[in-house]
Amino acid sequence: MQAYIFDLDDTLYNLSHHRARHLRRAWQVWLDTLPAATVAQILERAVLERIFFRDMDQFLLEAGASDASLRQELIAVSQQTWFMDLRLDEGVAAVLSALAQTHQLGLLTNGPSWTQRAKIEQLQLAQWFPTMIVSGEYGHDKPDARIFEEMLRQLDVRAEDAVMVGDNPDVDIRGAHGVGMRAVWVQQPHLPYPADMALPWRTISHVRDLQMAVRSS
């Protein structure tokens, strides 16, 4: 194996955990006026509905924040701090540092440039990933074969010498298989594995488990 290609969201960090942690802080001035049980329900719903900036005003209104000026204040704080609150999951930096000593690493992420580049900068991913492709800048999203082939071209490795590591079976695993790459599925409880797909090369519960899993090959 010459190269490991990683997805970003819900692979290198847990987006749901980030969302709950971030909104608890960004909306603190309002949430602190509510009973603890209500706060827990609001944050749980925000995670389940994957609330982001465009959804916040309606979500906050339905959750009981009737004051429009308060809602705008809460949204503004969230917009100012969303990316500043990001951090890699525990143990991920150590895995990337170890792999970078012996393998080429690539980052392949779906999403618009403005969100994904902000995450990349905040998480300081350039220290591990000299090669990064953001789908919004490339014009094709995973699982389109063209974006995987472009990553392989930039890394200058053959498909059989690279492995894709990601959480989304339909996007990361299907796309990797489509170009002849091996794939490691970072299992997520909300994303069941499609019955019509070949099994991944390895299945892990977290990127922390990657090195142990591939050693067993």
pTM for this entry: 0.92
Q: Could you read off the pLDDT of 158-195 as tens digits, one per residue?
A: 999 999 999 999 999 999 999 999 999 999 888 899 99
Q: Could you read off the pLDDT of 3-61 as tens digits, one per residue?
A: 999 999 999 999 999 999 999 999 999 999 999 999 999 999 999 999 999 999 999 99
Q: Could you read off the pLDDT of 110-141 as tens digits, one per residue?
A: 999 999 999 999 999 999 999 999 999 999 99
pLDDT range class, residue 1, cuts 50, 70, 90 = confident
Model pLDDT, residue 216: 65
pLDDT range class, residue 217, cuts 50, 70, 90 = low
To the question of domain 3-13+87-215 being in CATH 3.40.50.1000, the answer is yes
Residue 61 CB contacts under 8 Å (≥ 6 apart), including other chains = 71
Mapping DSSP onto H, E and C, the string for the chain reads CCEEEECCECCCECHHHHHHHHHHHHCHHHHCCCCHHHHHHHHHHHHHCCCCHHHHHHHHHHCCCCCHHHHHHHHHHHHHHCCCCCCCCCCHHHHHHHHHCCCEEEEEECCCHHHHHHHHHHCCHHHCCCEEEEHHHHCCCCCCHHHHHHHHHHHCCCHHHEEEEECCHHHHHHHHHHCCCEEEEECCCCCCCCCCCCCCCEEECCHHHHHHHHHCC
Residue 181 CB contacts under 8 Å (≥ 6 apart), including other chains = 5, 148, 152, 159, 160, 162, 163, 164
Residue extents of the structural domains in the chain: 3-13+87-215, 15-81
Q: Could you read off the pLDDT of 80-109 as tens digits, one per residue?
A: 999 999 999 999 999 999 999 999 999 999
